[in-house]
Structure 1
Amino acid sequence: MATINNNRFGELTGWNQITINILGRDVVGIKSLSYSDEWPTEVAYGAGAMPVGKARKNYKAKCEIELLWEEVQAIQSALAGGLRIQQLQFDVIVQYEYGSEFYKDIVRNCNFNESVRDLKQGEGEIWCKMPITCISVDWNVK
């Protein structure tokens, strides 16, 4: 009788095995990070009812981060006087630990779109959701 291995991947990678680095500094006051890219394809039609080929549309990358107010202040304090956080250019480096291996994604040429504070009565911390404009995502960089 064959045995069934339900533990196919071993210990899974979770939030506590991820390091996020911005401007050479590991970010610790972070609640969430979301990044993605797309390179959509659409079918092209010519004569008749059937497609005659495919066409690639423009590539697009997206990113958003949610930081503690204190983390935003630490980033802002590294800026030269008079600059806004939206003027800062940076890469977001995300490193995943899986077993004894490390995997890295890099979100390239980023800048914050907005500086947002979302304050609520009764909450013990201030979280800042920061939409990011980015040029591209490099997946699984060696």
Structure 2
Amino acid sequence: MVWRDNTAEIDLSEVGEVADQYLQRIPEIHPNVSLDAWIVMPNHIHATIVINDAPVGVVETSHWDVSTTGDHLISGSLGAIINHYKAACTRRIRDLGYGVFAWQPRFYDHIIRNQRSHDRIRQYIWQNPTRWSDDENYIETTQG
């Protein structure tokens, strides 16, 4: 972790750099999708993903815990987008020599229904690095 101007920033590993680069490519691969706010943390990612002009049935109700495995994914849905993202990252990360890399099979989603909620979630994402040391999986590292 790097501190700049009293603000924590995550100093990404090589795997984290891949995760960040591929996350930023989502709108190129899915032209009807945009990223609003995101942060790649050492053990998870937060992002608000906007699906514009979604076909009927693509944007579902909030499930919180959604699988990205199986044949049930609808093309253009958030699950399909995340599935594609995870697969592309995994291929690149394994090509870099991280053979044991794997994602959790699920992700958590939430439909943002109003501006107040959007602002609160955006702030949570941006402030996430300042809370990293409170994470149950936090491991202090030093850069050498």
Larger radius of gyration: 1
Structure number with the higher strand fraction is: 1
TM over 0.5: same fold? Answer: no
Structure number with the higher helix fraction is: 2
TM-score normalised to the size of structure 2? Answer: 0.31
TM-score normalised to the size of structure 1? Answer: 0.31
